[in-house]
A and B are shown apart, each in its own frame.
Chain A
Amino acid sequence: KAGVTQTPRYLIKTRGQQVTLSCSPISGHRSVSWYQQTPGQGLQFLFEYFSETQRNKGNFPGRFSGRQFSNSRSEMNVSTLELGDSALYLCASSLEGRAEAFFGQGTRLTVV
């Protein structure tokens, strides 16, 4: 059974640009969450989607957005990139009714 797949693995963008990251959850998992990991702030929750609806959101500016498609795949978008957005972005999927979440390999975003 395939795990959580995130693409791309690495990305370099320039300040002011926008970026879209993709996450394919484990087959059958309808809950997808996104986290930002930085050396200074650690792992911070961005948002959670379930059945195409955002059901929880972390404390991030509106430049960070996401969506989920009918096949449970999810994308997150960051507009007007800032240097501080450089981070490892992790996606996790969960099976409804189960406690544990499974993470992808992450997308390393570098903003220059």
Chain B
Amino acid sequence: AQSVTQLGSHVSVSEGALVLLRCNYSSSVPPYLFWYVQYPNQGLQLLLKYTTGATLVKGINGFEAEFKKSETSFHLTKPSAHMSDAAEYFCAVRMNSGYSTLTFGKGTMLLVSP
């Protein structure tokens, strides 16, 4: 069975600082990997995805993530945090199979201070 671990339920950064949100997965084969963002009382918005090919993927709002198979990691980064980035971020995996089922991490709340 696959699982996702997000280190840190809360991460605090100052505006303009680097954002690093950590995600490690457990899977017998390389899965598809995703990062989603959730604003209060909203659904999940897809930030970026990794399926195959280039291991550094770029997403919306200046976010990017790097797939490292040897470390089974898919950490999310953004060079410079903005106040509008404050939200909850979820890492998710999906097996490369016919099912669309996602397994999510517990989420990391990003707090951005001025």
**Chain A interface residues toward B at CB < 8 A:** 4, 6, 31, 33, 35, 42-43, 45, 48, 50, 55-56, 58, 90, 92, 94, 99-106, 108
Bound-complex Cα distance A55 to B99 (A)? 7
Contact between B104 and A42, CB atoms less than 8 A apart: yes
Is A99's CB under 8 angstroms from B90's CB?
no
CB distance from A59 to the nearest CB of B (A): 11
Q: How many B residues face the partner with a CB closer than 8 A?
A: 23
A94's nearest neighbour on chain B, judged by CB, is B100
Q: Is the CB of B101 within 8 A of A104?
A: no
Partner of B100, one of A31, A42, A90, A106: A31
**Dominant secondary structure at the A interface:** strand
B55 to chain A, nearest CB (A): 15
Query: Which of A31, A48, A103 is B43 in contact with, Cβ under 8 Å?
Result: A103
Q: How far is the CB of A75 from chain B (nearest CB, A)?
A: 17
Interfacial residues, chain B to chain A (CB-CB below 8 A): 32, 34, 36, 41-46, 49, 51, 90, 94, 98-107
Are the C-beta atoms of B44 and A103 separated by less than 8 Å? Answer: yes
Quick one: which of A45, A50, A90 contacts B103, CB cutoff 8 A? A45
Q: How far is the CB of B74 from chain A (nearest CB, A)?
A: 13
Within 8 Å by CB of A56, from B44, B99, B105, lies B99
Distance of A15 Cα from B102 Cα, bound (Å) = 30
B104 in contact with A43 (CB, 8 Å): yes
Q: How far is the CA of A58 from the CA of B102 in the complex (A)?
A: 11
Partner of A45, one of B41, B102, B107: B102
Residues of B within 8 A of A31 (CB): 100
Q: What separation, in Å, do the CA atoms of A48 and B102 have in the docked complex? A: 10
- Some 17 contacts from A to B, beta carbons below 8 A apart, are A33-B102, A35-B102, A42-B104, A43-B90, A43-B102, A43-B104, A43-B107, A45-B103, A50-B100, A56-B100, A92-B44, A99-B94, A101-B94, A101-B100, A104-B43, A105-B42, A105-B43
